[in-house]
Amino acid sequence: MTSDITLATYLFNRIKQLGVEHILGVPGDFNLMLLDYIYEVPPLKWVGFCNELNAAYAADGYGRFKQTPGVLITTYGVGELSALNGISGARAESVPLLHIVGTTGRAIQEEHLLIHHVPPGDGLEEPDHTLYMQTSKPLACAHEFLYDPKKVLDQIDHVITQVAKQSKPGYLYIPVDMVHKKVPSDRLNTPLDLKVVNSGQQDLEDKVVQQVLDAIYQSRDPVIIADTLAERHHAVELVKELVEKTKFLSFNTSMGKGIVDENHPSYVGVYNGKASGKGIAETVEGSDLRIHIGPLFSDSNTGGFTHETKPETSIQLHPLYCSVKGHQYDHLHFYPVLEKIVKQLDVSKIPQNATPKPPRAPIEQEENAGSADGITQTYFTEFMNRFMRPNDSLLVESGTFQFACQDIYMKENSSFVTQIFYSSIGFTFPALVGSCVARREQNHPGRCILVEGDGSAQMTIQELGTMIRYKLNPTIFLLNNDGYSIERAIWGPQQGYNDICPNWKWTQLCESLGGTPGKDCASFKVSTKKQLDDLLISKEFESHSDKLRLVEVVLDAFDYPWRLRAQVQRMGKFNRDKFEAYAKNAGEV
């Protein structure tokens, strides 16, 4: 016999079936009754945040690390709109995220009552309680309002399935009176179908697979480029298997850093167009076949659009299309295609690389304006290469060090998170919370390490208290370069708008936000190269490895990584060329 359960119980059991163990968010009067049901579906647990934007960033970080949807709950209007920037970032960088919004009851909506959080209508029009849904809809891969009890199970399953398959945000809106509605429980016995398939396109799949294999067999010196969408769509192991089978020279992109094992004999470095390290762009662009898996052609992922993609010598495997030497097949997801390529590849037919692997080039020096013993971006990068260990997770904030961290070689089984495309400063501090929570669920070995700028940290620093509250133990390197140095590098290095509130007492923040030094947190400050080096051998520093550690690293305000300087110059030229072409076409020149 079929028993009945509440809609909320059904929803949280579906979420549990994804492997999710923590629900993130902020309580509000229209989601409180929904939150009660979290505690009735073990092992689900609640993680509360200081505001909804930070909770959205954290859900993004959870989704990136766990490769399952991060789940966010807010109240409607004030809560969901605060989270919207975080949702937009997840959409831009293809991160699975389920946003559940508690809304006013159906009767109140039908009567168009002027309830708090809803804006009045224009003129004599009645207020529209669904107004905010229209705001978020363009950012969602699936979007459902749970209004009709007869449809809600299909709606829930549809959104969760699409979020998981498309690796993008999705929305469920739940009126407060629907939380307790009874629904049949037996639907939970039917697993969600989360497998990506190209329905009805078996012949086309096989055709593309054969074209790719033929291109590989006929090539002289092919290369593999691993990009971010390969990771987002669960293809990392397939990429690694392809690298291992072929032994082709292999590269990660800036956003795909860590996909190819950077200690593998075939790994060369990060390909980022003309902003690549010495010898990397020449090797990639001199190849007669580039196999680019999961590409995302944004400015920051292509060295300011200086990457080279000749269609006649390129294979691109993307979630929305597969392209083989200029022939593009739309609406063909790459995962089943790559799966067949790896399985069917005849290693006896693959070419031996004609191009030798370029040697690992030294890190280029910065144009530092500081003292000789001061810590530079280059020196801190070299320190991180010594500090990193196998199984570590490295998170890097949107800022100057995003451009330096490409010179860090990730150790075995390590992972990397940054938001270099959407680049919402302040993102990574809350994302660290989501990543640490996900790691805890998996009993993941290694450390969680954040490199954060002072300007970015001032936006979301309150989640330091959340880390202490939930007994998380990351290591945080707070780069204090006295303001928005990445903006200084772009424009107005001496302008006041690139300054921030000076002289924050960073090493006192853990205690101010609820920590007890020596018990659950420890803070340090380094201003010279020697002080930074001494951390590696410091018994005091290592003795606090089971606690939250915050290290303030003092840098010069005008010390920029070489890649940032190079990209600023190239993007400046790119924009000037575009402006001039537009002005000429518009008759303004």
What would the pLDDT profile of 340-363 be if each residue is shown by its tens digit? 999 999 999 999 877 888 888 777
Asked if residue 242 and residue 105 are part of one domain, the reply reads: no
- Assign 107 a pLDDT band (cuts: 50, 70, 90): confident
Percentage of the chain surpassing pLDDT 70?
97
Most confident of 106-120, 135-149, 345-359, 398-412: 135-149
- Assess whether pLDDT exceeds 70 at residue 368: no
Mean pLDDT of 404-419: 91
SS3 475: strand
Other CB atoms within a 10 A radius of the CB of residue 536 amount to: 11
- Assess whether pLDDT exceeds 80 at residue 570: no
- Assess whether pLDDT exceeds 70 at residue 426: yes
User: 172: which DSSP letter?
Assistant: E
- Whole-prediction pTM value? 0.94
Beta strand 327-330 pairing with 321-324: antiparallel
Task: Return the CATH number at 399.
Answer: 3.40.50.970
Asked if residue 168 and residue 209 are part of one domain, the reply reads: no
Asked if residue 548 and residue 424 are part of one domain, the reply reads: yes
Q: How far is CA 528 from the centre of its chain?
A: 32
Query: What per-residue confidence (pLDDT) applies to 268?
Result: 95
Asked if residue 290 and residue 154 are part of one domain, the reply reads: no
- Structural domain contains residue 589: no
- Assess whether pLDDT exceeds 90 at residue 485: no
- Assess whether pLDDT exceeds 70 at residue 575: no
Mean pLDDT of 400-427: 90
What is the tens place of the pLDDT at every residue in 43-96?
Answer: 999 999 999 999 999 999 999 999 999 999 999 999 999 999 999 999 999 999
The set of residues, in sequence order, having a beta carbon less than 8 Å from that of 558 and lying 6+ positions away, is 369, 485, 488, 493
Contact status, residue 470 vs residue 463, Cβ threshold 8 Å: no
SS3 45: strand
Beta strand 182-184 pairing with 4-6: antiparallel
Asked if residue 207 and residue 162 are part of one domain, the reply reads: no
Asked if residue 239 and residue 90 are part of one domain, the reply reads: no
Query: What per-residue confidence (pLDDT) applies to 267?
Result: 95
Mean pLDDT of 221-230: 97
- Structural domain contains residue 551: yes
- Assign 515 a pLDDT band (cuts: 50, 70, 90): very high
Asked if residue 157 and residue 253 are part of one domain, the reply reads: no
Q: Token pair of 451, please?
A: 């490199």
Task: Return the CATH number at 240.
Answer: 3.40.50.1220
What is the tens place of the pLDDT at every residue in 256-282?
Answer: 999 999 999 999 999 999 888 889 999
Percentage of the chain surpassing pLDDT 90?
75
- Assign 300 a pLDDT band (cuts: 50, 70, 90): confident
- Assign 471 a pLDDT band (cuts: 50, 70, 90): very high
Structural domain containing residue 560: 377-568
- Per-residue burial over 427-458, b if 16 or more Cβ lie within 10 Å, else e, is bbbbbbbbbbbbbbbeebebbbbbbbbbbbbe
Query: What per-residue confidence (pLDDT) applies to 503?
Result: 85
Mean pLDDT of 184-196: 96
Q: Token pair of 238, please?
A: 């397939």
Calpha distance 70→160 (Å, rounded): 11
- Assign 589 a pLDDT band (cuts: 50, 70, 90): low
- Structural domain contains residue 399: yes
- Structural domain contains residue 583: no
> For 203-317, where are the E strands, in sequence order?
223-226, 249-252, 267-270, 290-293, 314-317
Q: Token pair of 221, please?
A: 């010196």
- Structural domain contains residue 362: no
Question: Directed axis angle between helix 334-344 and helix 236-246, to 10°?
Answer: 30
Calpha distance 529→287 (Å, rounded): 40
Is residue 221 annotated as involved in ligand binding? no
Asked if residue 266 and residue 410 are part of one domain, the reply reads: no
Is residue 481 annotated as involved in ligand binding? yes
Contact status, residue 317 vs residue 250, Cβ threshold 8 Å: no
Backbone phi and psi for residue 365, each to the nearest 5 degrees, phi listed first: -80, 155
Contact status, residue 267 vs residue 409, Cβ threshold 8 Å: no
Asked if residue 300 and residue 213 are part of one domain, the reply reads: yes
Query: What per-residue confidence (pLDDT) applies to 61?
Result: 97
Asked if residue 177 and residue 35 are part of one domain, the reply reads: yes
Asked if residue 462 and residue 419 are part of one domain, the reply reads: yes
> What are the respective helix, strand and coil percentages of the chain, to the nearest 5?
40, 20, 40
Number of domains in the chain: 3
Asked if residue 452 and residue 339 are part of one domain, the reply reads: no
Weakest-pLDDT range from 10-19, 117-126, 215-224: 117-126
Is residue 19 annotated as involved in ligand binding? no
- Assess whether pLDDT exceeds 70 at residue 420: yes
Q: Token pair of 77, please?
A: 């209007």
Q: Token pair of 336, please?
A: 């089943």
- Structural domain contains residue 363: no
Residue at a domain's end among 162, 189, 216: 189
- Structural domain contains residue 359: no
- Structural domain contains residue 366: no
